[in-house]
Each structure stands twice: as C-alpha cells, then as structure tokens.
C-alpha cells in the first residue's frame, strides 16, 4: 500500500504543472512556475540573470555570496511567479562608503526607485521597504540596476502584508 502511495505522490510531483495546451511540464519547469507569496521569502541576487556584475564571497550574506555592480551597464534581473496580494519588498546590500552604496530597483509594475542600505560598511536592508500590490497570481519582474560602483547586493525579500 505504501509503495502505491509513493508512486502516486511521485507522479503528482512529476506532473504538478501544465504547459501549453495542458501538456505535462517537467519537474524542473514546474519548480520554475511555483507561485510564491504565502510566506515571507528571499531571493538571492547571485541567482538572478546578471549583466556586467561579479559574484563574490561575503561572510554573513545569504548563501555566502553577494553581487557587485561594476559599471553603468550592470544589472540583475529575475522574473518570479508571485501570488496575488500586498508585499513589503526590501533589498539587503552593503555599500563600502557613502559614494558606493546606491542602486536602482524596479519591482512589478512600480516605477524605478533609487535605494541604498542604512550605513556604509555593513550588510543591511535598504532604509524603507517598497509597498507592492500584485493584482493577480502571475509574473513579477525584479530588476536591480547600477547606481554607484562597488555596491554589493545580497538578497531581495518579499514579506506578505494583510
């Protein structure tokens, strides 16, 4: 009996998503389309699509790594499947100095905002959270863009709010 339930569970996992016209989706693809947002979650910036950016080790960072922007063309981009609702969005970053701490953030349908961590030399959240309303379950684009060189980006945190 247990073997039968294990087989049923494995099949459910393998076909947990649907592709175009109801075709089954591979487990890897199903994982990509998971709807996020019931609980607080963080996305490591080193897992984003990076352009003109470098991944470096940093003790204390989520995953032990940060992304360093080097020039005006540096950016990190990711699209997630986000559940309908309201969220507070915070980026954790480290700026070596007041002249090397700013970056730009665009999330969902909101306008781009210039952000920076609280104090230079420390891995901290940005000063203010961004309020995001996701109108329906679906894609949410996140873009971090160069503001000042050497800023070190750790993670983007989404916290659902009632």
Report whether pLDDT(41) > 80: yes
Instruction: Kindly report which listed range (13-22, 39-48, 61-70) carries the lowest average pLDDT score.
Output: 13-22
Is residue 9 within a helix (H) or strand (E), and if so which, with residue range? helix 2-14
| Residue 73 clears pLDDT 90, i.e. is over it | yes
Start-end ranges of CATH 2.60.120.260 in the chain?
A: 34-161
Between the alpha carbon of residue 106 and those of residues 73, 84, 144, 151, the distances in Å are: 15, 18, 7, 17
Mean predicted confidence (pLDDT) in 81-86: 96
State the pTM of this model.
Answer: 0.77
Tell which CATH architecture fits domain 34-161: Sandwich (2.60)
- The token duo for 98 is 């007041």
Where are any strands of DSSP class E within 8-129?
35-36, 41-44, 49-51, 53-57, 65-69, 75-82, 85-94, 103-107, 113-115, 124-125
């Amino acid at each position: 009996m247990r073997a039968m339930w294990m087989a049923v569970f494995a099949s459910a996992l393998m076909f947990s998503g649907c592709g175009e016209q109801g075709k089954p989706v591979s487990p890897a693809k199903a994982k990509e389309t998971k709807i996020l947002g019931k609980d607080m979650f963080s996305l490591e910036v080193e897992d984003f699509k990076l352009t003109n950016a470098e991944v470096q080790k940093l003790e204390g960072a989520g995953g032990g790594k940060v992304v360093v922007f080097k020039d005006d063309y540096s950016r990190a981009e990711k699209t997630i499947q986000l559940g309908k609702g309201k969220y507070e969005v915070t980026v954790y970053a480290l700026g070596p100095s007041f002249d090397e701490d700013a970056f730009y953030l665009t999330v969902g349908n909101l306008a781009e905002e210039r952000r920076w961590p609280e104090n230079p030399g420390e891995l901290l959240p940005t000063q203010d959270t961004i309020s995001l309303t996701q109108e329906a379950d679906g894609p949410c684009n996140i873009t971090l863009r160069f503001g000042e060189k050497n800023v070190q980006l750790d993670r983007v945190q989404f916290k659902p709010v009632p």
